[in-house]
């Protein structure tokens, strides 16, 4: 490995350490408690050193947000390939989404504006695009498989996303009676009912 490659690798390691430190502070306190100074203290770096990697706190949090959606997309893609049946793919992807939220609570909060820290709307929409695109693609394939029409595939995608996100959010703040497993069951039932409603509407 040459000097240039080694320096770039070290830079990436430091960058990741900064992001990990920000996430750790959020877990311990909250996203609003994350500051450049605290992140620097966490990894024993000065504030100016952290600024060499991120222009400000928002840039740091946006990098975490983007990483979160990339990881979520990968999890949903892996779930999708387990079956050739599009309805099964939809439920497998929903479960992957759920698992991601459960195991990455603080990151999920940041990704969906629940951490109390407003982030740039355009950057957020760009980060979420591929997750929505994958969901929409599977919904369209499902509709073709069951021979129905979805006049507004994006709207259908947003409905499925709202079902997932709504129940996940309630579960994360302990607002679902009997806890996480019942909340997951409700999520699966909600999606099942919505798919059935689209099919029945086509037949009526």
Q: Which segments in the chain show pLDDT lower than 50?
A: none
40 and 91 fall within a common domain: no
Q: pLDDT tens for residues 127-138?
A: 999 999 999 999
Structural domain span for residue 174: 57-203
The whole-model pTM stands at 0.92
CATH number (domain holding residue 99): 1.10.357.10
**Minimal CA–CA distance to 112: which of 102, 125, 98, 103?**
125
Spatial neighbors of 77 by CB under 8 A, at least 6 apart, are: 134
Q: At what angle do helices 86-103 and 121-145 cross, to 10 degrees?
A: 150
Percent of the chain surpassing pLDDT 90:
84
197 and 129 fall within a common domain: yes
- Residue 146 dihedral angles phi and psi, to the nearest 5°: -95, 5
Q: What is the Cα 76 distance to its own chain's centre?
A: 10
Tokens at 41, concatenated: 């203290």
């Amino acid at each position: 490995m040459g000097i240039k490659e080694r320096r770039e690798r070290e830079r990436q390691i430091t960058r990741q350490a900064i992001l990990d430190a920000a996430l750790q502070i959020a877990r311990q306190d909250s996203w609003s408690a994350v500051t450049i100074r605290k992140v620097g203290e966490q990894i024993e770096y000065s504030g100016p050193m952290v600024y060499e990697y991120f222009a400000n706190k928002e840039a740091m949090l946006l990098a975490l947000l983007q990483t979160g959606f990339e990881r979520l997309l990968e999890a949903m893609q892996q779930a999708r390939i387990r079956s050739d049946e599009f309805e099964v793919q939809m439920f497998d992807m929903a479960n992957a989404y759920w698992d991601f939220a459960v195991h990455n609570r603080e990151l999920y909060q940041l990704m969906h504006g629940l951490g109390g820290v407003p982030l740039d709307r355009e950057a957020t929409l760009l980060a979420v695009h591929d997750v929505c695109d994958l969901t929409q693609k599977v919904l369209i394939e499902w509709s073709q498989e069951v021979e129905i029409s979805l006049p507004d595939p994006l709207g259908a995608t947003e409905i499925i996303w709202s079902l997932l996100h709504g129940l996940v959010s309630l579960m994360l703040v302990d607002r679902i009676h009997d806890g996480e497993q019942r909340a997951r069951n409700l999520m699966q039932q909600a999606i099942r009912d919505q798919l059935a409603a689209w099919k029945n509407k086509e037949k009526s």
